[in-house]
Structure 1
């Protein structure tokens, strides 16, 4: 049986025009929503597109707080995502999204979760600990931005057990600010997420970020689940202070899922600054990728964050020299304090990672990099604000144009090095926790760099031009599979694809659709080609 998988054939939409235009747009061909009695959730068996951000940080993340944004809270983040006007935690000015989001994951760092705000609340066990006392001596006032930045620098050294003026090590951080001391912050966050979850209207997904910086390599994962408080109360988020190896994270996810019933989704982000470790051929212990590794990774990590504030991870000119758009939002500032710059390798970018997965599948019988693509913000302000005309910056250090020529505190980057980030779109039956997570699990999701482009992508073996009518979506599901699915067939019949792309009415026109195909040659090498089935004349 021949298997053709969409993970190797993915659509990239490029918006190149500078104005919106006024031409009529194609009407969506979604099925009519099924509406039951009052108070029941609307459901569409042919699915609606829901827009969200799975990677938002608030002051519960130590870096957000220490970068001078102590008033960034989950409450404000949810209200902003729901379309309310709020006061920006970075500028103090009112801000409001052009259109509200449908779902949000506040993914604060599991490491020292909520420790810094609790420290300034004089919380017993934190404020009076060795680490707490040392930090309060350096910055007794939470408005002391220079003092807060100094604490951040010490944390970076202490986490790697490097010499620092506070004489702290990783064990001190775990004992004083991590571990069980995170219970209060986690409980507060879960309560806030529950309060703002409104099934059918706005979905809050409980999650966090596991922030592995293995020798400066960004191996971070955002983790979330469809379950609520009853399950979240049974564990504390797994932290990279416990282990910076993704395989240990997967082991924890397996054990915790079996114990609590949590259905975890883990999403790697920023492959572009992983220093060659995100799509590797060998494990961190130096051994080759094997079948067990591939199975574990594909169970928990079915998608990857392809674009966010710290640049685009789709491809790089050095890896795709024949693609004229390969240099979009390149970013190479590794997460090291010494100014290390990342050199692009095939293990750092999604397009080459997809092709490497084909090579490994031939050897192992299973592909560890068969992934869907999502975008999100990685905002460190609590504001999921990525519109060019309504941008909150990565954090306090680049919140306004006047600050952007200066260092951000993230590697050696400056504010102007940041992009405006992206969104994730999920095709789901309803705007509910389970339905949204199910979309991620089957990889019926996609990324944009901001514009809310409505994209449908179906593959099959029996599509014809007659299928491109009002019943295209229903036909796509009946005769083929949507984005994220596998095509299986006997014989050598070539697949065909149906693609529908509708512009964001608030953004620029669509200039073209590109389809990038990656494949395995007979000799085991890989190749790629960019097709352009549509281009505005």
Structure 2
């Protein structure tokens, strides 16, 4: 098969007429927890419910639930999903307040219940101990990374994960009644704050499966309204322990209420290899039926959030100079002296995309045709992802002196507890939507016209087609040209014309309150002739350096953009980088017989990390938990090319 060995990249300013505004770019958070989530309550969020979450997201000042100070987002969001854990949603406030019915039990069981309740009350008086106490109440087996055992079955066989009822804290019926009542209240608040065209509240919850310490969590979102959502209960891992069972229940629910649902995996980086494995969680081979079901219900992945970045990992991408970014080394079961963090191929989004095209060759269906978004996973009710205005993962993280515990442990090998400085001030969900409404946003997510950022409001357009020309990047309406001549991010390219290679329009602009951009990269993944996925990174648009032109090196890499961040003041000068970048890029190594996909990674110039801002304020050295400066970024949903799809379309024509 002939390959096309030509390359063209142009660095140019976007027109000032608003080329990125053809469809509406909406910013939001699909993954926020309030006091209704058990771990949030245990960690000090006792007062901030969904109403506080929506008020903060809309730009109103609110009171921090732990620090008690006034806080306010720098730029309001366009949409928000409160995604409290379905398991024991709203139960802890009732149990700790003595309002929950206890199970029928003998004297021993009542004493045990009293002991647990009083112990929890003691520990939650110091919220810094609350989360660890919560973890100890619901123990997990420690399956090692890369283990082939079924983590869910293993946990069940050992008697772990039975829930609060097993320790006498609440009866099963009482827990169900509390969940239903709190869910209804949450949905009423969602409908009250929903203002189509201005601010959208998405119905959502989290399905939280952590059997054997492997994070398999999903956030579920819907385009239904709160009144309809009140007619059903959020589906938790307690009633649907396997992902396939969640998808089946979503299918039944969708048919029952006439609404769309999607499930979004998150924190694959701490899944011990299970999230995007080439087998099911139970270890069974992936079939076409399974792949089709997964692809239907999981069109997106949360690529970045407070518990670290999941795009890739330096051990899996040794040639990627930007792979070592916001790594999170802590499994969800907490400290385990006998276990260190070991990344697996099933842990990263890039590996998932590669596994997907390999599995498609075997089964005919790609189970991991995933678009990308970011979100926070904050448990403070505050959707904060801004480095200088970051209010923490847990409520106690809002205070710098609380950020590091008394025992630092062996941080390099992950043999220590996570703390506030190990967390990332990330991320945001960017959606190209027809309008700001529940229906339009979910529709955009289903077609994967979305992307993730680690916090900045970087505007990104990405189109793929066969006939784009150099002058198209200067078009007054880039989106109109892009849609007319190809497909946007998340789309699939039709058949390749004879002798042609795909052409991509790429454009990025810095956020209004953000810093300049360093570069735009195309990450290409493809299936080689041996059926194995490979990857390559192309720098396709970049800013000039202070001293002048930056040129590609022989290996395709670029000299660093420089660093204008001042770690003493926390300020970054915008005297390097560019406000806007765009390019027409043609794949120089395209082979029409090979499946391939492409996504963009847009890098900002270095800025000061939140941990360094704390360190400067405290008058201490740069915390070892994170670097002094970072390069924030955006990841787009891919554009796919499949020769089988191309052939099928040619036959239909």
Please give the range of the TM-score, normalised by the shorter of the 2 chains.
0.7 to 0.9
* 1:472 corresponding residue in structure 2: 478
1:505–1:24 distance in 2 versus 1, CA, 3 Å: farther
**Bigger radius of gyration:** 2
- Of the two structures, which has the highest relative contact order with CA contacts closer than 8 Å and spacing of 6 or more? 1
Q: Deviations over 1:204-231 (max 9, x none)?
A: 0011000011211110000010111232
- Deviation larger for 225-234 or 316-325: 225-234
Say which of 244, 249, 271 aligns to 2:246. Answer: 249
Question: What TM-score results when the alignment is normalised by the length of structure 1?
Answer: 0.87
Taking the aligned partners of 1:237 and 1:407, their CA distance within structure 2 comes to 38
Q: Deviations over 1:129-168 (max 9, x none)?
A: 979755433345796236855751443229977689x996
Say which of 5, 9, 19 aligns to 1:29. Answer: 19
Calculate the aligned-residue CA RMSD, in Å: 2.7
- Deviation larger for 450-459 or 224-233: 224-233
Q: Matched residue of 1:331: which SS? A: coil
Q: CA offset at residue 386 of structure 1?
A: 1.4
* 2:651 corresponding residue in structure 1: none
Q: 1:308-323 residue pairs with structure 2 within 5 A?
A: 308-323=305-320
Q: CA offset at residue 500 of structure 1?
A: 1.2
Does residue 542 of structure 2 align to residue 535 of structure 1? yes
Say which of 121, 134, 140 aligns to 1:152. Answer: 134
Taking the aligned partners of 2:164 and 2:472, their CA distance within structure 1 comes to 68
Taking the aligned partners of 2:407 and 2:516, their CA distance within structure 1 comes to 33
Say which of 222, 241, 255 aligns to 2:219. Answer: 222
* 1:304 corresponding residue in structure 2: 301
- Deviation larger for 209-218 or 391-400: 391-400
Taking the aligned partners of 1:89 and 1:119, their CA distance within structure 2 comes to 19
Does residue 515 of structure 2 align to residue 504 of structure 1? no
Count of residues in correspondence between the two structures: 500
* 2:648 corresponding residue in structure 1: none
Q: Deviations over 1:265-310 (max 9, x none)?
A: 1100001001000111111222101111101101110000000001
Does the 8 A contact of 1:516 with 1:531 survive in 2?
Answer: yes
Does residue 375 of structure 2 align to residue 385 of structure 1? no
1:120–1:167 distance in 2 versus 1, CA, 3 Å: closer
Q: Matched residue of 2:346: which SS? A: coil
Q: Matched residue of 2:356: which SS? A: helix
Q: Matched residue of 1:230: which SS? A: helix
* 2:117 corresponding residue in structure 1: 136
1:387–1:260 distance in 2 versus 1, CA, 3 Å: same
* 2:93 corresponding residue in structure 1: 117
* 1:77 corresponding residue in structure 2: 53
- Deviation larger for 221-230 or 438-447: 221-230
Taking the aligned partners of 1:348 and 1:24, their CA distance within structure 2 comes to 36
Taking the aligned partners of 2:271 and 2:174, their CA distance within structure 1 comes to 27
Does the 8 A contact of 1:52 with 1:103 survive in 2?
Answer: yes
* 1:5 corresponding residue in structure 2: none
Q: Matched residue of 1:489: which SS? A: coil
Q: Matched residue of 1:494: which SS? A: coil
Does the 8 A contact of 2:32 with 2:382 survive in 1?
Answer: yes
Taking the aligned partners of 1:400 and 1:118, their CA distance within structure 2 comes to 27
* 2:608 corresponding residue in structure 1: none
Does the 8 A contact of 1:112 with 1:177 survive in 2?
Answer: no
Taking the aligned partners of 1:435 and 1:63, their CA distance within structure 2 comes to 32
Taking the aligned partners of 2:14 and 2:61, their CA distance within structure 1 comes to 31
* 1:425 corresponding residue in structure 2: 430
Q: CA offset at residue 488 of structure 1?
A: 0.7
Say which of 469, 489, 494 aligns to 1:488. Answer: 494
Taking the aligned partners of 2:94 and 2:195, their CA distance within structure 1 comes to 28
Q: 1:260-299 residue pairs with structure 2 within 5 A?
A: 260-299=257-296
Taking the aligned partners of 2:460 and 2:213, their CA distance within structure 1 comes to 36
- Deviation larger for 138-147 or 465-474: 138-147
Q: CA offset at residue 491 of structure 1?
A: 4.2
1:65–1:136 distance in 2 versus 1, CA, 3 Å: same
Say which of 442, 455, 458 aligns to 1:437. Answer: 442
Q: Matched residue of 2:139: which SS? A: helix
Does the 8 A contact of 2:101 with 2:170 survive in 1?
Answer: no
Q: Matched residue of 1:452: which SS? A: coil
Taking the aligned partners of 1:74 and 1:438, their CA distance within structure 2 comes to 24
Say which of 325, 330, 333 aligns to 2:330. Answer: 333
Gaps of 5+ in 1: 1-22, 32-45
Q: 1:156-175 residue pairs with structure 2 within 5 A?
A: 156-157=138-139, 169=166, 175=172
1:338–1:536 distance in 2 versus 1, CA, 3 Å: same
Taking the aligned partners of 1:163 and 1:239, their CA distance within structure 2 comes to 17
Does residue 27 of structure 2 align to residue 51 of structure 1? yes
1:234–1:511 distance in 2 versus 1, CA, 3 Å: same
Does the 8 A contact of 2:521 with 2:541 survive in 1?
Answer: yes
* 2:74 corresponding residue in structure 1: 98
Q: CA offset at residue 525 of structure 1?
A: 1.1
Q: Matched residue of 1:416: which SS? A: coil
Taking the aligned partners of 1:128 and 1:498, their CA distance within structure 2 comes to 66
Does residue 213 of structure 2 align to residue 232 of structure 1? no
Does the 8 A contact of 1:443 with 1:484 survive in 2?
Answer: yes
Taking the aligned partners of 1:500 and 1:455, their CA distance within structure 2 comes to 6
Taking the aligned partners of 1:47 and 1:132, their CA distance within structure 2 comes to 56
Taking the aligned partners of 1:274 and 1:389, their CA distance within structure 2 comes to 30
Q: CA offset at residue 257 of structure 1?
A: 1.0
Question: What TM-score results when the alignment is normalised by the length of structure 2?
Answer: 0.72
